[in-house]
Each structure stands twice: as C-alpha cells, then as structure tokens.
Amino acid sequence: MNAKKIAAEHAVTLVESGMVVGLGTGSTAYWAIEKIGERVKSGKLKIRAIATSNRSEEQALSLGIPIITFADIDQIDITIDGADEADHALNLIKGGGGALLREKIVASNSRKMIVIADERKLVRHLGKFPLPVETNIFGWEKTFQRLESLGCIPTLRMEGERPYITDNNNYIIDCSFGEISDPPALHDRINAIVGVVENGLFIGLASKLIAGCDDGQVKILP
C-alpha cells in the first residue's frame, strides 16, 4: 500500500468547510491536495487555500480549489505538509522539495500544522537527511563557507547543469551534519549567517504527525 497516500488521506479528514487550509509541497502533500480537490468537487467541502509552492498552487487550481493570499486572512486554520525527517518531539527537516521558505511561512501562520509522512521518515535523531538551507544568490560562495564552518558538508543543489532555483529566486545549499544533537541551537546558528534566507529545521511548528504504514495503518503523534 502507498504509505504516503494513506497518511495524506487520513489528514484530510481533519479539514472542515469554512477553513483556510495551507497546502504543502511534495509527493505526500500531492495526495492531500488530490483528496481535498475530490471533496471540493463533490460540493461537500468549501474551503480556501494558500499553497506553499507554485507547483502545489497549480495542482490546487486545476482541481478547483480556491487560492487566496495572506492579504485575505488573519490566520490559516490547518496546514497539511510532508517532511523529510521528523523526530519524536515533532522537530522536522523539510525542504527536500525546495519549498522550505514558503512552507515555514505558512506553518508559522497556521493554528495547526499536520505533518504527513511515510513512517520511515520518523527518526530518533534528525540529521541523516542533509539539511536544506535557502540562501541568497548574491555572495552564496561566502554563505557556503560559513555553513561549512558550522561543521557540515555543504552541497549546492543542482538541477542538471545549473544550480536549482527556488520559487523565491534563491539557491539551496544541502548541509550534511550527521546526527543533530540540538536542533533549536543549530537552527539559530544557521539563521544568524548573513546570506541565509531560511533553513529547513522546523522547531515547535508541527502539531501532529500522521505516519502512514505499508499495511494501511496510521501512527499518530502525539
């Protein structure tokens, strides 16, 4: 069974008419957007949504999900998004799909952030997955060196022959730290580097994790 789809469809049961919904990015969030689209199309669900990437926005619009902006609302009611890794305190690494900046803006402006993932994304310690850091293009070489001086092996994310460019016209540097012993401290040290726009550590933002299993079950934390 598709563990990502199972987690995503379970999360969508939490979405109610009248809500403003944050739509995540990635192959797990894809299934949540499909399911929301199906419920919207049936006429049983009336929501408005803010997407975390151009890709997710296009998918939502193609399914008839109304897209709004932050100018239209005070707060998002619920955001459903994937993760690259999650620990048991619900600290996350995100940004494997390159959308971490918008994902963090959306998550920090949401009453609830529901994380959906294949159960294999749940780890004891974050850090096996290289931490994505979105950086300004100007001076990126220096930002790269400063990240390296924090003790990681940095790699500029590429798309074919060229550097990968985010929806916000920035680069991403993927930083292999190995096991991250103190995620909040590392989060702050990275964001203190001039040239860093945002990093993929999501600390204290997730309200719930719904992990899908191959046997069709879900594990829910907390």
Binding residues for ligand 5RP (CB under 6 A): 24-29, 81-84, 94-100, 103
Burial of 203 (0-12, 13-18, 19+ CB in 10 A): middle
Smallest distance, ligand 5RP to C-beta of residue 81, A: 5
Q: How far apart are CA 134 and CA 168, in angstroms?
A: 9
- Of 16, 36, 39, residue with least CA distance to 24: 36
Q: Which of 28, 91 has the CB closer to ligand 5RP?
A: 28
Q: Measuring CA to CA, how many Å separate 69 from each of 51, 57, 74, 81, 166? A: 9, 11, 10, 18, 19
Measured CA to CA, the distance from residue 26 to residue 30 in angstroms comes to 6
Q: Report the alpha-carbon distance of residue 211 to residue 10 in Å, rounded.
A: 9
Q: Give 82 or 154: the residue with its C-beta nearer to ligand 5RP.
A: 82
Nearer to ligand 5RP, 22 or 24 (CB): 24
At its nearest, how many Å lie between ligand 5RP and the CB of residue 36? 16
CA distances from 212 to 14, 88, 122, 155 (A): 16, 15, 11, 30
57 vs 81, which CB is nearer to ligand 5RP?
81
Which tokens hold the place of 89? 């305190």
> Least separation, in Å, of the C-beta of 17 and ligand 5RP?
26
Chain centroid to CA 218: how far?
Answer: 20
- Burial of 79 from C-beta contacts in 10 A (0-12 / 13-18 / 19+): buried
Would you call 141 a catalytic residue per the annotation? no
Q: How far is the CB of 213 from ligand 5RP (least distance, A)?
A: 15
Active-site pick, 9, 57, 85, 103: 103
Q: Which is nearer to ligand 5RP, 21 or 83 (CB)?
A: 83
Question: Residue 200 Cβ, how far from ligand 5RP at the closest point, in Å?
Answer: 7
Catalytic residues: 103
